[in-house]
Structure 1
Amino acid sequence: MENGSKNLADEYRRLGGRRVAVIDDNLGSSRDWDGDPPDAAKFWKERIASLSDRERRDVESFLPSLDDESDEPAAR
């Protein structure tokens, strides 16, 4: 089964994207503390930031979680 949100998140990560998902009280968002490489930043701006809030949260749900220390940028 194809999942467009997962595909967008996977492509963003493949381009070196460093955002992490932050889920608080069932509200999702993402944080970009380390900055993205240019290709990942461009992809986020053009393909993800322009989505509706709901669609963007769906994509963010496939990013590494802030609570998952193995995927935190500082752990790499």
Structure 2
Amino acid sequence: MEENAAKALADEYIRLGGRRQLVMDDNNLTTRTWEKDAPEADAFWIENVHSLPDAYRREVLSFLPAINAI
């Protein structure tokens, strides 16, 4: 997946009201949520991101706002 495509997916998810945040721990990328996603964002995530192969999904995750950003 191209970086632009991964960024576009992350940007659209956020635009739709997505609240997941990136957590980076020893090169492991995961997400955390404290606030519920907007229904449109949740549906978008399930349809367009959740089903991606691991490497592509991690690339999309890298464009989400990070919890441990300095």
TM-score, normalised relative to structure 1: 0.83
Q: Secondary structure at the match of 1:54?
A: helix
Unaligned residue ranges in structure 2 (runs of 5+): none
Q: What is the identity percentage for the equivalent residue pairs of Structure 1 and Structure 2?
A: 52
Runs of 4+ deviating beyond 2 Å: none
Match of 2:65 in 1: 64
Question: For 1:43-58, what aligned pairs fall within 5 Å after superposition?
Answer: 43-58=44-59
> Shift of the alpha carbon at 1:47?
0.2
TM-score, normalised relative to structure 2: 0.90
- Kindly indicate whether residue 41 of structure 2 is the aligned counterpart of residue 40 of structure 1: yes
Deviation string, structure 1 residues 29-62 (Cα, Å, up to 9, x no partner):
1112211010000000000000011111100000
> Shift of the alpha carbon at 1:3?
0.8
Match of 1:72 in 2: none
Larger RCO, structure (CA 8 Å, separation 6 or more): 2
| Distance across 1 between alignment mates of 2:59 and 2:30 | 10
**Matched residues, number:** 69
How much is the aligned-residue C-alpha RMSD, in angstroms? 1.7
Unaligned residue ranges in structure 1 (runs of 5+): 70-76
> Shift of the alpha carbon at 1:2?
6.5
